[in-house]
Structure 1
């Protein structure tokens, strides 16, 4: 990707030489609708529900909402809107508000939802005194006040959990006809002139870029109140804390997918992802809202407990500090479309969100191993050398990555035939060791005569158009580029077909895909992205022409990358006749991204601050449905000194996506290029990951069943412990492991919070099996070889201690089950096994077992006896930590087999080891203990 000549000059001018050039990105005051809407704080809402229009049918209430001019003696209706309230399964409600008869259809986000949400029942309980009361089948209620319009959502206890339009900031700017003033008209005739002269109504400028805004202003807004909330979370991707800050004294949070070079830390600026889901948590409940809108969006937050001027004034008036958080969504276009998720626990509300937007599918198992990448491995010899050095230095790896230099001069679906003349042979050399290859495919297409993708796209009309209806031309890595319009089914079909093995020679089922730059990044565009008045495909409809015949980029911007990875996913499925699971990595993210791809936190730097940010960023994304998250280990820019590199590998080993990646102009930093002592530490970190690959695989399988995050904030499992509400430097993997990476240089100890004091929870150091009683914070000593990781008492974790050079080669290796006992001397866990790469598991070709330990027996039981998978894996060791009263003997019962087992007691740390029980993991078995 090394930019040359004019491209280098343009790029440096855009991104600046030193970090973020804020002048390239808008503040709220420079974003016309944010500047216009943010001060909008009326004393009373202008919206009124017409009670005579209310109809309740099935799970839907429909009604008319009007705005009126109250400044005249007689109220005059200005605009009419269509309201729709839907009750959905799992304690979720949906509010939709659109113009009743819009001048043009307003855009409704298309791809975020995982199909049509399932309906619940909705019953009208009362309609009196200007208020409606409705209930779903779970007993949760909605109270609607007609004038001024307000929605109150009540939990099963009858307490108000969420309020909409409490602060009267609901707003839908109606579409209008632009009135052009002729020369002979009276300049003072405001009725004719205001449409043209009002600043920003019909056009906006930012730096040298002009936005024509042909539809005029069309912004939407809604305010949301969370009574009894202590903190709010979500709306990734940002670099500030996991618990969101009050924004009254600065910029709102911005959601607008952007390529921000060396993005800032501790910032609310927009970067690569925009997932508009917000959660509120307090000791009474957890709730959430999902703002279903793909346009540029700003979010204000006011936490009444944080001591800001606004919250202090409110607390003074109300008499004491209030537990309440207010939020407000402001989007440039679309409709009001808001899902209210009533929880009641953190796990409930996280699951409600993935019920709407989908879970991450079970990934191919290799993708949970270690990935080695660089911009760029320069040729086949370089790839071979990297591959061989992993073996020479006894470091496992599953994937080698190729960045854009593998292509023929930045033309995707091609190879540089000088540097990569034998791609099929190169791939075969990797797969012989159980390894895979990932190659990059970006959305920009090089505008070069003779390049088949460009020629086809031009001939078939597959590109995004500019504001005048001509093919849009921007600037990216290849130089002059155009962008496939994935909203066009023909473009998606064409692009997907490029992944067929015959269309992309040298690839196989073991070559997977990286979609980068898909915000989309446009080096010479406004804010380094596509102009908002570009045109996207819209299905033809009778009577719709002109502005109604296409969508503008402003409507769909945050969805663009989602449409690309969907098309990539489709192509990778079709290339193997839907047999093999694809692995895709994306940089741009939106609601629903998890259904198609993993993601990473973008172009970070080799600094301690970026290591710290990676933990909280992935925690926030996991809560927003995207568990398959990681960062560029070591930092993309700059060179990590040995201590930072070591700590980053140790942290990365406990993040879902584990990839080292670096910039083309940085010093090479493969693990063996450091001093031998550092290489040994990096090796140890990677091997720790491989010992737990089956544990990770089981967590992802269980995510497909219940939709809860793989990586979890502490408050998910301990919702009453207020100390956990703001912790974002440690996290849980499932409910079994607690990870506290070392995120600071030169430390000899770190503070660790161990939750569960009210339940007498025990936490066992995974290195020593030393038990710690949960009692809040304590100081854990560390050295350069250790980060604190603990297994929860009451859990069982499967491990594989025979680490080989790839996870594929470990498939039939034996397991160690680590049993960490709770205060009642019990524990439970699970294990999932299948072939790791196909969809055969959907046809009952898998093993999914529950493992339980009680003082008298340990049981391994298949959850679905009808499901079977032939595996030679077996149990070679069981480690029982925290055993105070060890048994005298143990016997394995499996089928007709009964055999006495050997045990060793380590009295120094209360650990009992059962050696070589040789139990199969494909069938049920029991170990009985005698005392």
Structure 2
């Protein structure tokens, strides 16, 4: 048993928790490590600095043993040995060419003292890898070339080791371009040979005690000592993106969409970006410090191409970003066929006439193996598709989950829940889900009910279900240590808890006091956990109950940086340091499995998780954590959610109005207005905040908030379609501007406006007192205000009105958006309501016919016909056509049962050019109809 209470801070907070059941700010605002206080980060930065200081004399000690190069599996796989010439340690290089413009690069020790951790791949990767044979391979001299096709290839250099990934003969990604590649091979302390340096006061004397090596076998932080029984084992590599000015990704940070530099440069950070999941209560803004999740994927984008890398490693990881000026490496037209000229490949004459900015990155992880996927694009949407084809498609959510969620830490009892539910109805504000935080349990024992506050949970669930509403309850990974608690007894008896190095259960402090943590790397523990959600196990629950996994970083009140000590041991003997960032995702997976399997016919689960990693998109949404009710956090939510989306996790959002502190009524209103255009739409607030349900606020704020929520519900058909497209392709619903307009350079750094799908441009208002704002409208497009239908045709920056009652949002010409405009209490109540279609015309509009086409992959299959049969009543009740410059004389409906046609009623707004065609009442299932406007 391990219970570290030596810290005065930890002890003080523990007493407060046990007395009041309340987490206090002193604990969660824990001191964070810097690179300088993290041994492997400090060593790898110093290694890079040493290499850089040598200038042109620098070279990497790693070389490929030429005779070891071997192709197999139809040339889709290359194997070679790499030698560190400084110490003669051997490593293995494996390069695999995969379908869809993707390559995998793996480097591991050839004969390690023991296996390095790579077990995470079976959790992270969701689909079988499909190698493909390249169009050509060539070995010769010190270079090996693999051509994927006529435009894409990679070149491996042997002396020293380097890899170039090329498109049209131009390197777009380079590994080890700066010679920072470094693997700390496994060793014992006894056979370690210290690095000898000169004693500054006596140049003739050599010493072996340096700061670089003082943390190799143990390091101390605040009051915690981290013993390192395996010694140093980090991996590091520099990855350059020549010719790219902008890189994106690597959530989660409260930072820019376009990643900042970290080692010099304008407005640069002083620290690398860090990926290390932690409880980030009241997190600061504009820092590279880590938050709750980690997805080690990075995009590089310029107007002609996007490329990406996925650094598949769940241990603590740091990334430096720097920018540089370099020569334009566009190949001359005479070298376009160099794919077939092996020895000229990658060394063509360059056109030196143009200087461009390149981006250089340096990645280092604490342990594991080097395992990188490279994506050739060529567009941002291609990158995210290539990524989710490996890590899994985003989950297709149940309809209710994209409606409005009402949450508070904490609602007190059944009576309060029902009062809130009725108050939403009385005030004509729709919602779909109400949430319960930890106090619904019996003394923080999960899978139990506090029967004083919730005497009849099934009755409560039934009353909500009758209105088409759900209830979400929280379940965390820590288990109260009490022999009176069934869950604890079962887990302890079956050995399902994470262990301390001594072999005892790991014990630390969380909500219940002394607790242990379920080990979700244990297959038996996963199945046991999933069974807990069965209705005969988690009694007094029904299908109405959905789940929320919080505190799964894991958050530990008396742990270093409020999380688990790295020397703790998981199933298979792996240290927590090896898989820290994976833990939350594994819990998320186990919970989703339980919800899905608790019914005879599996149903799509809804499980929200706070901590996440690559692959979490398969199991449900995430959110940006414990934010603050201020304008800065409102503004920061946009780039944070956008970054999650392009990193494969599209279903995310921020706590509406801010979790901590009190919002002004202006901020309250603006936050709801933004929230309706974010994928996960939940209001949440802390235990000591004023009640701020939207029906409680004064006018005009209540009316404005109600209108915003109603717009969200009217747009649910569009949102649901976007979620389906994300499930199929990975393309996020909420997108950076450059995702839709990848050639428009002013949008590459744009993060305070965004697209919802391809049809709606949104410009949030994030400045107090603003009544106007500046919107950038992409060129060659027509845009229509979604409320007034006013048309904007001028590209570039335009100042638009934005009084408190308005959030600027614009429909793109050439798109059709489906709405359901009848006010209802929930998404479930809207499912058979008719549609209104809003069609926005472009300048190229010439066809005056609207028709229906089925897009189902198998329209005659059983699934399609069964669905069609159950939705025969669905119709279109209205069509609005925006941008129609002249008033028509007729709107005629043609259908098989109408001869020859039917004239439809319509209205025409000649000021804004809007035609409204009423009562076509045509089917959305049977597409044998058309409407002609003449």
* TM-score where L is the length of structure 2: 0.89
Give the one of 35, 40, 59 matched to 1:33.
40
Do the aligned residues in 2 keep the contact of 1:464 with 1:472 (CA within 8 Å)? yes
Give the equivalent residue in structure 2 for 1:399: 433
Change (3 A) 1:566 1:363: same
Give the one of 133, 142, 154 matched to 1:130.
142
CA distance in 1, matches of 2:540, 2:477: 21
> Are 1:483 and 2:496 counterparts?
no
User: What CA deviation, in whole Å up to 9, does each residue of 1:710-763 have, x standing for no partner?
Assistant: 1111111111111101110111111111111111110110011111x1xx2101
Do the aligned residues in 1 keep the contact of 2:297 with 2:309 (CA within 8 Å)? yes
Do the aligned residues in 1 keep the contact of 2:280 with 2:625 (CA within 8 Å)? no
> Are 1:288 and 2:298 counterparts?
no
Do the aligned residues in 1 keep the contact of 2:313 with 2:368 (CA within 8 Å)? yes
Give the equivalent residue in structure 1 for 2:710: 687
Change (3 A) 1:400 1:29: same
Give the equivalent residue in structure 2 for 1:829: none
> Are 1:617 and 2:640 counterparts?
yes
Change (3 A) 1:13 1:673: closer
* Structure 2 residue ranges without an equivalent (≥5): 1-10, 52-57, 193-198, 200-204, 265-269, 327-351
Give the equivalent residue in structure 2 for 1:749: 772
Give the equivalent residue in structure 2 for 1:146: 158
CA distance in 2, matches of 1:402, 1:169: 49
Give the equivalent residue in structure 2 for 1:876: 877
Give the one of 485, 489, 495 matched to 2:529.
495
User: What CA deviation, in whole Å up to 9, does each residue of 1:83-140 have, x standing for no partner?
Assistant: 0001011101111000011111111123222233221213553222211111225752
TM-superposed CA distance for 1:4, in Å, is 11
> Are 1:246 and 2:256 counterparts?
no
Give the one of 218, 222, 234 matched to 1:203.
218
User: What CA deviation, in whole Å up to 9, does each residue of 1:174-214 have, x standing for no partner?
Assistant: 10123199xxxxxx9x9999899941111111111011111
CA distance in 1, matches of 2:289, 2:561: 12
Give the one of 677, 683, 686 matched to 1:654.
677
TM-superposed CA distance for 1:319, in Å, is 9.9
Do the aligned residues in 1 keep the contact of 2:886 with 2:910 (CA within 8 Å)? no
**What does 1:896-911 align with in structure 2 at a 5 Å threshold?**
896-897=897-898, 898-911=901-914
Give the equivalent residue in structure 2 for 1:311: none
CA distance in 1, matches of 2:519, 2:404: 34
Give the equivalent residue in structure 1 for 2:186: 175
3-state DSSP class of the match of 1:468?
coil
> Are 1:437 and 2:471 counterparts?
yes
Give the equivalent residue in structure 2 for 1:594: 617
CA distance in 2, matches of 1:202, 1:147: 32
Do the aligned residues in 2 keep the contact of 1:14 with 1:524 (CA within 8 Å)? no
Change (3 A) 1:569 1:328: same
User: What CA deviation, in whole Å up to 9, does each residue of 1:463-510 have, x standing for no partner?
Assistant: 000121110001111111100000011111111100001111121112
Give the equivalent residue in structure 2 for 1:705: 728
CA distance in 2, matches of 1:469, 1:925: 69
Give the one of 78, 81, 86 matched to 1:61.
78
Change (3 A) 1:426 1:387: same
CA distance in 1, matches of 2:610, 2:855: 38
> Are 1:924 and 2:931 counterparts?
no
CA distance in 2, matches of 1:459, 1:24: 36
3-state DSSP class of the match of 1:676?
coil
CA distance in 1, matches of 2:361, 2:17: 42
Give the one of 553, 556, 561 matched to 1:522.
556
Give the one of 413, 420, 426 matched to 2:447.
413
Change (3 A) 1:19 1:636: farther
CA distance in 2, matches of 1:151, 1:879: 55
CA distance in 2, matches of 1:596, 1:173: 35
Give the equivalent residue in structure 2 for 1:453: 487
Give the equivalent residue in structure 2 for 1:221: 236
Give the equivalent residue in structure 2 for 1:893: 894
* Structure 1 residue ranges without an equivalent (≥5): 70-76, 182-187, 307-317, 539-549, 827-853
RMSD over equivalenced CA pairs, Å: 2.4
Give the equivalent residue in structure 2 for 1:8: 16
CA distance in 2, matches of 1:173, 1:180: 14
Do the aligned residues in 2 keep the contact of 1:124 with 1:132 (CA within 8 Å)? no
TM-superposed CA distance for 1:863, in Å, is 3.4
Change (3 A) 1:15 1:130: farther
> Are 1:797 and 2:817 counterparts?
yes
CA distance in 1, matches of 2:97, 2:600: 38
Change (3 A) 1:600 1:414: same
**What does 1:10-409 align with in structure 2 at a 5 Å threshold?**
17=25, 21=29, 24-41=31-48, 42=51, 43-58=58-73, 59-69=76-86, 78-108=88-118, 109-110=120-121, 111-122=123-134, 125-137=137-149, 139-155=151-167, 157-179=168-190, 198-249=213-264, 250-304=270-324, 321-409=355-443
3-state DSSP class of the match of 2:752?
coil
3-state DSSP class of the match of 1:533?
coil
**What does 1:802-821 align with in structure 2 at a 5 Å threshold?**
802-821=822-841
TM-superposed CA distance for 1:13, in Å, is 15
Change (3 A) 1:5 1:552: closer
Change (3 A) 1:774 1:487: farther
Give the equivalent residue in structure 2 for 1:559: 582
TM-superposed CA distance for 1:294, in Å, is 0.2
User: What CA deviation, in whole Å up to 9, does each residue of 1:858-887 have, x standing for no partner?
Assistant: 334343422232212210000000011343
Q: How many residue pairs were aligned? A: 861
3-state DSSP class of the match of 1:565?
helix
